[in-house]
Chains A and B, each alone.
Chain A
Amino acid sequence: MKAHDLGELAFRNLREAVLRNTLTTLGVAVGIASLVAMLSLGVGLQELATKRLSNSGLFDSVLVFSRSNLRGFGRPARAGTAEPQPPRALDDQALQEMQRLPNVVEVYPQIRFLTEVRLAGGSYATMVAGIPASARDGGAFDGIQGSFFSGPAADEAILQIEFAKDLSPQPGTLLGKELVLRYAERQPLGPSAGPGDGANAESDSSSGGGFSVIPREKKLRIVGIVETEPAVGFGGFGRGRLLIPLAVAQALRAAQVNDLRDVVRGTNPNPTYASLTVRAQGPAQVEAIQTAIKNMGFSTFSLLDATRNLRLFFTVFDLLLAIFGSLALTVATLGIINTLVMAILERRREIGILKALGAADRDVKQLFFVEAGVMGLLGGVFGVGLGWLIGASVTWGTNIYLQRQNLPPAHVFSVPWWLVLGAIAFAIVVSLMAGLYPASRAARLDPIEALRYE
């Protein structure tokens, strides 16, 4: 029999027992829906985690240190080993070299220093971090109260919410207010220089002998408050509770922890950085960049391994969700088998007539197969729609909860095209497998017995 004739007859048969076939198809749809809902939640959570982590700069960043930082200060050379080459300095030249590496988006220094903040007569100690303008697009500042810096060198500050609560019980009222930053400015030994003078180097040890520290003040306007600490513990502005534009932080020339160490060592004739953050175009490029930087003579650190573990975790997570989702589909499969076996009993005589009129066993088998396949196709399509609705409802409910917890909304489910096509194909395959036994049984029917059947 030709395909279109098979299709027509199958649809006709399905229409005739419309209630039973609709219920069976709905069974498939519910099975597929549970599978799609589970997997879409898995995929959605994975995307959410990846996006958040990727936005935080954790997975596309490489932290670069001078090898002297990690080798340990004052450790004696091992006996029998040659005197090691002096470690390469993490200076402007190194920064420019890294900037030229392929797939590098930007390179910026980490600037963090302790400071005292004065506001409305109060005095508060905290950590300041300089952040690059590019951080604005990263998503770390999504849900910011107020706004991001108006310019790369604006005298503005963004407060981390916990610090803002220290400053005022109603953090929102701080927006637009001015605070005073008191900090220790480094100056080379010799004639005093005003604040903001000099090169953008953090460890101003150009004198080769040390530096003096002068207390300075800087007025900054509070423009924003962020809920979370962006990139805690890693990246260019980790643990900063008061965030200022990187250019402003560089211009302050505030004394940092590594300054003292460099002075004591006295090995750096040129200005050096404590560490640099190198941002790659994406996590995939991190490994190559890391290798290139190591070859340049620096130590590096990235969370690449953590990304791999994250992927492994979500693969296992998705697998478990798929197994739970498949349970409903297993029940639906039994439903298809039951429906088709019942159909054979009901249509026994019809099968006999078809065979008497010239239908081959193959035709009868294909007819039942197509019926199973159509139920699978329809069940798959409805199931994907239903699964999407379940996922959307979960997102809706989650966002209501998040809103009540004063947290930004999140898209916790995702139905990518491969899941749509895969689920429909899976429904068809499962239905065809369910139709295998009934179709073979129908094809094997003895036409004479079938024609006698009343």
Chain B
Amino acid sequence: MTERSSVAVRAERVSRHYQMGPALIRAVDDITLEVRNGEFLALLGSSGSGKSTLLNLMAGLDRPSSGAILAQGRSLAEMSQLELARYRSKAVGMVFQSFNLLPRMNLEENVELPLRLAEVERGERPARVREALERVRLEARLSHRPAELSGGEQQRAALARALVNRPALLLADEPTGNLDSATGESIMQLLREVQRSLGMTIVLVTHERALAERFADRIAILADGRLTSDGMKP
């Protein structure tokens, strides 16, 4: 029981196959992987290795062809569409390579969006938004639109948006992919800081081994949809 409660998310013989014409694409193939609470796991692999697909399965954005993703003591496959939406809204925060901020909204509105979706009381929202933006040191840019920010600032804003609902699990899909190395490193430091200060679980998808080795607690390596290595970093 104690062991189960210490698991943030667990993939149990998970496969995700796609039929592309006559060919069967095995994006994720029979992977079993466990992420503990408060852990910083890096999923490392080359392009097409299946790491983003596995992350989407953990986020409940996709459903496995076989196997199960277990989170909060339940299989995501058993959840209804509405329950999955609630899971993504309250238990998971997501950060993407291309930031995915809504260009028509300023930072304050972008960060407020998950609060609207989670039906957080209106009066509570401004403080939560400010707190999230302070954590990523963007509190002075509340009224700026994404286009008025640098790439690093946009990614920090996206991180603030992912944190605003105080999720237990943060899923980051190549968050440094669109950034120069210095900015990428600052984002990684921020992720590490958030993980430590909030006790969050982070699953990071990246193809940059150096960053993964430097910041993650554990590295799992995928190739051709299969888990080839899973262990504590050296």
- List residues of A whose CB falls within 8 A of some B CB: 1-2, 4-5, 9, 12, 16, 349-350, 352-363, 447-448, 451
Contacts and interface: CB of A to CB of B under 8 A. Distances in A.
B114 interface: yes
Interface in B35-63: 56, 59, 61-62
B61 A356 contact: yes
A4 B112 CA distance: 14
Nearest to A349: B100
- The majority secondary structure among interface residues of chain A is helix
Contacts of B61: 355-356, 447-448
B46 to A, nearest CB: 18
A359 B104 CA distance: 18
Contacts of B117: 1, 354, 357-359, 363
Interface in B80-108: 81-82, 85-86, 88-90, 94, 96, 100, 102, 104-105
B118 interface: yes
> DSSP class of B's interface residues: helix, strand, loop or mixed?
helix
Nearest to B102: A350
Nearest to A13: B104
A358 B100 CA distance: 14
A360 B119 contact: no
A12 B113 CA distance: 13
Contacts of B89: 357-359
B116 interface: yes
29 contacts: A1-B116, A2-B116, A4-B122, A5-B116, A5-B119, A12-B104, A349-B100, A352-B100, A353-B100, A353-B102, A354-B113, A355-B61, A356-B88, A357-B88, A357-B89, A357-B94, A358-B85, A358-B86, A358-B88, A358-B117, A359-B85, A360-B81, A361-B81, A361-B85, A363-B85, A363-B117, A447-B61, A448-B61, A451-B100
A358 B93 CA distance: 9
Contacts of A16: 104
A1 B105 CA distance: 18
Contacts of A448: 56, 61-62
A12 B89 CA distance: 22
A7 B44 CA distance: 42
A349 B102 CA distance: 9
Nearest to B173: A451
A12 B112 CA distance: 14
A1 B102 contact: no
B161 interface: yes
A104 to B, nearest CB: 65
B85 A355 contact: yes
Contacts of A451: 96, 100
